[in-house]
Chains A and B, each alone.
Chain A
Amino acid sequence: AQKVTQAQTEISVVEKEDVTLDCVYETRDTTYYLFWYKQPPSGELVFLIRRNSFDEQNEISGRYSWNFQKSTSSFNFTITASQVVDSAVYFCALSEARRGSYKLIFGSGTRLLVRP
């Protein structure tokens, strides 16, 4: 069965601290995709990154970086020098191709609060 676990329900940091959000996934497929989405208070899910199962290279985008490790089935997300605007709920998600559907299986989310 497919499953995504985000064990951290809520994290609170002070501005400029680095913070890592954990994501562990389960799947039997060899081909799959992993995602991170941000959900600010407005409610709309904002796409951050997609990774396919064959690409284990870490990725950096500005203050954001992602560490994908198939050996531990993890896809962790780090924010460097956090800012108040980073406060949101962050979701990790898994997608597998089924009859052309790339439906997303989400974790329960991690609420990040960045205090000034």
Chain B
Amino acid sequence: GAGVSQTPSNKVTEKGKYVELRCDPISGHTALYWYRQSLGQGPEFLIYFQGTGAADDSGLPNDRFFAVRPEGSVSTLKIQRTERGDSAVYLCASSLGQGNTEAFFGQGTRLTVV
């Protein structure tokens, strides 16, 4: 597709379970970002990839959160031992990188932890 694709669009999981959220960026975009948006708030930065490496993971809230991008394209955000406070919309964005600042966002994955 032409835009950033995120799957699933909705995920309901029980407290304590493990979840994976997937992001498929725009083809050719080397930079990939994950954000988290709680209800009524602006998105908050989680992690930035340039190619395969996580260049900035300063936004990850704790060690239950981890993300990978093994081939420099698709990225997976992984959350272990989910808590009710993890419920939010997780947004992925990509950009051309190399100094290009315009990021294109996916439609997000709404995670609900019950």
- Please give the residue numbers on chain A whose beta carbons come within 8 Å of chain B beta carbons, in ascending order: 4, 33, 35, 37, 42-47, 50, 91, 93, 95, 97-109
- Closest chain B residue to A49 by CB distance? B102
Per the CB 8 Å criterion, the residue count for chain B at the interface is: 29
Do B107 and A103 have beta carbons less than 8 Å apart? no
- Please give the residue numbers on chain B whose beta carbons come within 8 Å of chain A beta carbons, in ascending order: 31, 33, 35, 40-45, 48, 50, 55-56, 59, 89, 91, 93, 95, 97, 99-108
B40 proximity list for chain A (CB < 8 A): 108-109
- Classify the interface of chain A: helix, strand, loop or mixed: strand
B106 proximity list for chain A (CB < 8 A): 44
Do B103 and A102 have beta carbons less than 8 Å apart? yes
Min distance, Cβ A16 to any Cβ of chain B, angstroms: 28
- 17 CB-based A-B contacts, threshold 8 Å: A35-B101, A37-B105, A43-B108, A44-B105, A47-B102, A91-B42, A95-B101, A100-B50, A100-B99, A101-B48, A102-B95, A103-B48, A103-B56, A103-B59, A104-B33, A104-B45, A109-B40
- Classify the interface of chain B: helix, strand, loop or mixed: strand
In whole angstroms, how far apart are the Cα atoms of A91 and B44 in the complex? 12
Do A45 and B91 have beta carbons less than 8 Å apart? yes
Do A104 and B103 have beta carbons less than 8 Å apart? yes
Apart from A93-B42, A102-B100, A109-B42, what are 16 other A-B pairs with CB-CB below 8 Å? Answer: A42-B107, A44-B107, A45-B91, A46-B105, A50-B101, A95-B101, A99-B56, A100-B50, A100-B55, A101-B50, A101-B55, A103-B48, A104-B43, A105-B45, A108-B41, A109-B40
